[in-house]
Amino acid sequence: MNAPAILLTLNAGSSSVKFAAYGASSTLDWLASGQIEGLGERARFSVKTAEPANANHAPALDGHADHHAAVQAILQWLQRTQADRPVAAVSHRVVHGGVALTDPLPVDEALLAQLEQLVPLAPLHQPHNLAGIRAARAAFPGTPQIACFDTAFHRSHPFVSDTFALPRRFYDEGIRRYGFHGLSYEFITRRLRELDPVLARGRVIVAHLGNGASMCAMLDGRSVASTMGFTALDGLPMGTRCGQLDPGVLLYLMGEKGMDTSAISDLLYKNAGLRGLSGESHDVRTLEASSSPAAREALAYFADRGRREIGGLASCLGGIDALVMTGGIGENAVRVRSAMLTDMEWMGIAIDHEANLRSDTVINTPGSRVRVLVLKTDEERMLAEHALQCLQTTDH
């Protein structure tokens, strides 16, 4: 009996390509996940597998490998470890789908051209997503490529959550609040439906906290509002991104400091957030271990902004039934969760600090009106599920 074909997922960033492989029949069977980090500098391949021996077949990489070389390395690894399994499809995370792209789509030249037009809206992400798609098309000729859009989940926003207070022509031209991390929110929504279908239909806030961080208010599993806006800069402070910022600051930096677009972009995307505040690191683990007052203040600011956003999103929902913490920080940073959620009984959130220390699935006290859960997100599996659905739709 032939082994099932493989569904491969790719998440191409500026200096890394994350991937996962699943055996695809009527369901998904996880085979491996890994990444190639340090592209252009010190590229290195790492992988975890269902069959531990397969992790020993990592290909050698030129230290200055680019996205094409990274995808070729993934292809080599698949050929060495999964030679009896053809690749049925490659599913790609694409950060920006604009207004029109609301469902996963097969990639063709017309779609690539459409996605190129959105590069100015996500300059640090979209070009690398597209580079990953092009590299995969070259490495897997004739294999279906599926694009999945991080903005698609938020296209259910009402107008008031989608617009800025600018002349209406700008909204009509596409200057609006798009929201991001949609694949993560979609996965958490499905996971919550499995755990508690009644709760999943209620008023839920999901906090995706990682190097990129945002929160989403959901009603019956649909996005009502998000902290991220026109770009992935808005809302919460992040590892290196500023989060919410008075636009007057930008005018001041341009007029008084003589900073141009490039300098401001570098500041806001690469040298702000936790890195800028602490002067030390973008990594919460490093900051928690630091004795620096600036590190403590950076984490305090992160927690304070989180509390503000939870309150704001709850107002969009008319209350809150559940709060889900996810992402690298949300799932693992015990002290950050505690700082963000302590003394929130006024809105019905009461934390069981022992459960929080253990990172239990449920970390609220029995008397808490709001359920507080810690759930692991899995964007790669979401990509694979979309690819499987596309293939099944095509077959029928």
Out of 84, 103, 150, 283, the active site residue is 150
**Is residue 66 among the annotated active site residues?**
no
Mean pLDDT of successive 10-residue stretches along the chain, which has 396 residues? 83 87 87 88 88 77 82 88 90 95 95 94 88 91 95 96 97 95 97 97 97 96 97 95 97 98 94 97 96 98 98 98 97 98 97 98 98 97 94 72
pLDDT tens sequence across 33-61: 999 988 887 888 889 998 887 777 777 77
DSSP-derived pairing of the beta strands 203-209 and 322-326: parallel
pLDDT tens sequence across 217-253: 999 999 999 999 999 999 999 999 999 999 999 999 9
DSSP-derived pairing of the beta strands 145-149 and 87-94: parallel
**CA 263 – CA 260 distance, rounded (Å):** 5
**CA 10 – CA 39 distance, rounded (Å):** 15
> Which CATH superfamily groups domain 5-149?
ATPase, nucleotide binding domain (3.30.420.40)
Composition of the chain by helix, strand, coil, percent to 5: 45, 20, 35
Name, in order, each residue with C-beta under 8 angstroms of 87's C-beta and a sequence gap of 6 or more: 5, 6, 7, 8, 78, 140, 143
pLDDT tens sequence across 52-110: 877 777 777 777 788 888 888 898 898 888 888 899 999 999 999 999 999 999 999 99
pTM beyond 0.85:
yes
CATH of domain 182-374: 3.30.420.40
Contact 118, 231 (CB under 8 A): no
Domain ranges of the chain: 5-149, 182-374
Place of tokens 């203040």: 297
**CA 273 – CA 212 distance, rounded (Å):** 10
The three-class DSSP label of residue 93 is strand
**CA 318 – CA 313 distance, rounded (Å):** 9
Contact 166, 210 (CB under 8 A): no
Element (H, E) at 207: strand 203-209
**CA 68 – CA 41 distance, rounded (Å):** 15
- What is the sign of the dihedral through the CA atoms of 321, 326, 331 and 337? negative
The reply to whether domains 5-149 and 182-374 share a CATH topology is yes
